[in-house]
Structures are given as structure tokens and as C-alpha cells.
Amino acid sequence: MTWIQLAPSVTAAFLASFVEFVEAATIVLAVGTVRGWRSALTGTALALAVLCTLVLALGPALARVPDQALQLVVGLLLLLFGMRWLRKAILRGAGVLALHDEEAIFRSESANLRLARATERWGVDPVATVTAFKSVLLEGVEVAFIVIAVAAGGAGLLPGAAAGAAAAGLIVVGLAIVVHRPLARVPENTLKFAVGVLISAFGVYWTGEGLGITWPGQDLSLLALVGAMLVAGMAGVRVASATAARVALRMEAR
Amino acid sequence: MGNLRAILGELVGLFVDDGSLALALLVWCAIVGAGVVVAPGLSPAGGGLALLLGCVVILLANVGWAARARATKR
């Protein structure tokens, strides 16, 4: 396994997981701060247990799916997933959509949690536990999907992609413990843009493989696809901001 | 039940945010796939290039429409 094969998978898994872990950490921090750490950590642990069960149950099942069908399904899912991220990052980069604000999410989640009635069952607060559980499970499913999908190219890619995601998790948890507040300074939109570019490129590559297209240069073509998606994303920001400005001018002129 | 529905809704939302973008991408992939079956002699670079360019055009058109729609609403 060469670095050219390994680097895109590890980078995509690291960056995408970093963003997902930051989002989960914001909610867990809000739950822990407002309703207590016991419930927050119980919800987190339950979600991690469900995730492990899902991965252990579905992982071996995936090995039974024929290669080409798996490539097509994974490719299409990656394409939809990556393009969704890239579209949002483009619209945010162009100022059409508001930027994702971890501080605002933390404040809003904290306010909601304060409004909910405090109850206790089996030593934990059900509202707080479910909130932490839901957030960690949803972000964790995204991480698991990304790791499995970007490693679909070969058995040797999975440990690297998993290590990338684990490193991102450790960094986010470490930072959250140290600063004890939402990681609002993380350039989330830039990360999402980069992840959108990488995942979309993987999506095009695997969809093509699944459709029976043989890419020239094989794995090397993935780098060309990443470059093409980067250019497309930057062009998208210009298209979106120019369109928004043109419409705004026309509305003012009326 | 409500929580389960919310989780399922959010799982679908991982892949589909703007329905028209997802639909257009799937239709384009189906067209390229049909092209590969109908014209197996198509060069590998041709099929790959068609897939990539179609996806890029769909993305650019979608962000253009989204920007126009948002700006009109303001």
C-alpha cells in the first residue's frame, strides 16, 4: 500500500471525523454542563455501544456483497454525502447561508435543556441521556460510514482510515476536556469544504468503478478527481456569490 | 417512537439535503451507466470524464439556483 493510495483515505477520514466529533462534543458539553456529566457520559457510552454493535454486525455482511455492487452503492452514497457537504460549504463560503456556529448551538441546546423538567430514572436524567445518545449516535454513524466508505478501495485501507478517525476523536475529546467549552474556533466551513471535495472525489471514483468505468492511471486518477472537485468547489463559491449579488442589485433597482 | 423517527429522518438527511441535487446526481449516474452498457467501446477516459463533468455541472447549477432563491427571499 503506497502513500498515494493511503493518503486520500486517511485525510478524508481524519477531516470528516474531526468535524463530526466537534459537533457531537458541543451537544455532550451542553448536556454535561446543564444536566450533569453522569447523564451526558451515560448517553455517550450507550451510543458508542450501539455503534460498535452496528459496525460489528454490518462489517462482515458487507464482505459478502459482490465487489462491483458494493463499489456502486458506496460510490453513490459517497457522492450524495460529499456533494451535500460541498454544496453547503459553497453556499456558506459565498455568504448565502449563515456559517455553522458552535457557540450558538451550545447556547440554544443549553437553553432547551434548562427548560426540560428534571427527572431521574435508574440514576440518570432521561432527557439528558437521550440528547447525548442521539447526538453521539448520529455523528458516530457518519464517522463509521465515512471510514468504511473511504476504505472501500482495499482491505489495507481500513486500518489507516480508522486510525485517522480515531486520531480526530482523541484530539477533539482532548481539546474539549482542556477548554471545557464548544470548539468554536475550529474553521468548520473550511474543513467541511475540504471534506466535501475529498468525499465527492471518492464518490465519483467509486461510482465510476461500480458502473464499469476503468479510470486511466487507476488510483492516481483519484488525485486528479480531488483537484477537479477543488476547482469546481471554488468556482461554485464564485457562481453563488455572483448570482446572489446580481439578484440583490436587481431587487434594489426595483 | 418520535425519537426513532427523528433519528431515521436525520440518517436520510446525511445523504439528501436538497432533493433536486440528489435526484439529478442519481439520474446522471444512471445515464452514464446506461451509456457504458450501450456503448461498451467507449474509452475509459470518456466515461469517467462524462461522469465527472456531469456531476460538476449539476453542482454548479444547483448552487446558482440556491443562491438566486435565497437572495430573492431576502
Task: Return the pLDDT at A34.
Answer: 85
Task: Return the pLDDT at A153.
Answer: 67
> Could A235 and B6 be called an inter-chain contact, meaning their C-beta atoms sit closer than 8 Å?
no
Task: Return the pLDDT at A49.
Answer: 92
Inform me whether the pLDDT recorded for B3 exceeds 70.
no
For residue B74, name the pLDDT band (cuts at 50, 70, 90): low
At residue A217, the 3 state secondary structure works out as coil
Across A169-191, b (16+ Cβ under 10 Å) vs e yields bebbeebbeeeeebbbebebbeb
Q: Which residues of A touch B7 (CB under 8 A)?
A: 134, 137-138
Task: Return the pLDDT at B21.
Answer: 93
Rounded CA separation B18/A116 (Å): 32
| pLDDT, tens digit, 9 for 90 and up, residues B19-46 | 899 999 999 999 999 988 888 777 767 8
How close does chain B come to A178, measured CA to CA in Å? 30
Instruction: From first to last of the 254 residues of chain A, give the pLDDT tens digit.
Output: 667 668 888 888 899 899 889 989 999 988 888 888 888 899 999 999 998 888 888 777 777 777 788 889 889 999 999 999 999 999 999 998 888 777 888 888 888 878 777 677 777 788 888 889 989 998 898 888 888 888 876 667 788 888 999 999 999 999 988 887 777 777 888 889 999 999 999 999 999 999 988 888 877 888 899 999 999 999 999 999 999 898 888 888 87
**Which triple of cell numbers denotes residue A230?**
477543488
Of A77, A91, A142, Cβ closest to residue B67: A91
Task: Return the pLDDT at A35.
Answer: 82
Mutation site for B-interface testing, chosen from A146, A230, A243, A250 by largest number of B Cβ within 10 Å: A243
> Could A87 and B10 be called an inter-chain contact, meaning their C-beta atoms sit closer than 8 Å?
no
Domain ranges of chain B: 18-73
Task: Return the pLDDT at A156.
Answer: 75
Query: CA nearest A245: which of A100, A92, A96, A93?
Result: A96
